[in-house]
Amino acid sequence: GGIITQTPKFLIGQEGQKLTLKCQQNFNHDTMYWYRQDSGKGLRLIYYSITENDLQKGDLSEGYDASREKKSSFSLTVTSAQKNEMAVFLCASSIRENTLYFGAGTRLSVL
């Protein structure tokens, strides 16, 4: 079996700050995803990547950048943190059949 590791687990930032979240997977999956989880709003797709160096925007990409320099890693950058923002960011990977394997999440709080 494999595992998805997200770092950090908790991230506290300041308003306007650029913040980077990292994700590593050892499944050898081609496709990786970043979802944002907000209570009552479900999981919303921010970015996904079909293969190394590929980036595809999801429904919630504004305010975020992503990078996929290696097959095993996928990072997400919040370009300017919003005051009082609180959310959980979930990284996932999959093979083409679309069973997603999720990481435990990064919990973001902005002061």
Partner 1 sequence: GDSVTQTEGLVTLTEGLPVMLNCTYQSTYSPFLFWYVQHLNEAPKLLLKSFTDNKRPEHQGFHATLHKSSSSFHLQKSSAQLSDSALYYCALSDSGGSNYKLTFGKGTLLTVTP
Least Å distance, CB 15 to partner 1, is: 28
Q: Pinpoint the alpha helices (H) of the chain.
A: none
**Which positions touch partner 1 (CB under 8 A)?**
4, 31, 33, 35, 40-45, 48, 50, 56, 58, 90, 94, 96, 98-105
**Which of 111, 78, 110, 105 is closest to 9 using CA atoms?**
105
Least Å distance, CB 111 to partner 1, is: 23
The residue among 75 and 103 lying less far from partner 1, judged by its C-beta, is 103
Least Å distance, CB 16 to partner 1, is: 30
Dist CA 23 CA 7 (whole Å): 6
Least Å distance, CB 18 to partner 1, is: 26
> Is-contact 103 92, C-beta < 8 A?
yes
The residue among 81 and 91 lying less far from partner 1, judged by its C-beta, is 91
Residue 96 in 3-state DSSP? Answer: coil
CA–CA distances in Å: residue 3 to residues 13, 24, 34:
27, 8, 16
The residue among 11 and 100 lying less far from partner 1, judged by its C-beta, is 100
